[in-house]
């Protein structure tokens, strides 16, 4: 069975290439999703504390909630899809640039866009507020901020 022996190294090299390509794809996805930093070159308006994005699924079913944050020039500085079980919360990101707007939407067609304009009480001591949003049981997306 010479054909079996000849095809074994070929299969191994294909498998190895697939693993390498899969790993590169995962790294590229994570870096552009905002979980391992920011998009390259997007550090204008930077302060010491990065801004994080936190999403709460306050519904009784699993939801996928996409969040996109842009700067004043409408350049994307954060983008991620959060897949959350019922009543689960997740956070991610290290936004270094100053956000201008936040757009959140679901696969069900629910969406909301708002300006990044935290109006926190004076006793909150933070330079830049983290972005939060809640997908409520009635289907609405409610934005909020925290330090």
Burial of residue 111, with CB atoms counted within 10 A of its CB: 0-12 exposed, 13-18 middle, 19 or more buried? exposed
Chain-centroid distance of CA 124 in Å reads 25
User: What tens digit of pLDDT does each residue of 48-87 get?
Assistant: 689 999 999 999 999 999 999 999 999 999 999 999 999 9
Residues 51-146, CATH architecture: Sandwich (2.60)
pTM: 0.65
| Alpha-carbon span 46 to 49, nearest angstrom | 8
List Cα–Cα distances, 77 to 6, 130, 133, 147, in angstroms.
Answer: 49, 14, 17, 19
E strands in 71-129? 76-84, 88-95, 101-106, 111-115
Where residue 30 falls among pLDDT bands split at 50, 70, 90? very low
Position 67 scores a pLDDT of 97
Structure-model confidence comparison of residues 125 and 118, the more confident one: 118
């Amino acid at each position: 069975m010479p054909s079996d022996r000849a095809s074994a190294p070929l299969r191994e090299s294909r498998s190895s290439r697939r693993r390498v390509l899969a790993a590169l794809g995962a790294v590229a996805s994570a870096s552009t999703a905002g979980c391992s930093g920011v998009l390259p070159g997007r550090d204008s308006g930077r302060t010491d504390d990065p801004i994080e994005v936190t999403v709460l699924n306050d519904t009784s079913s699993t939801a996928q909630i996409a969040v996109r944050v842009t700067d004043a020039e409408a350049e994307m500085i954060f983008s991620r899809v959060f897949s959350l079980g019922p009543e689960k919360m997740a956070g991610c990101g290290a936004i270094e640039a100053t956000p201008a707007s936040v757009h959140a939407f679901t696969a069900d067609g629910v969406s909301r866009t708002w300006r990044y304009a935290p109006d926190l009480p004076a006793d909150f001591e933070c330079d830049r507020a983290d972005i939060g949003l809640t997908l409520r049981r009635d289907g609405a997306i409610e934005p909020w901020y925290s330090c």
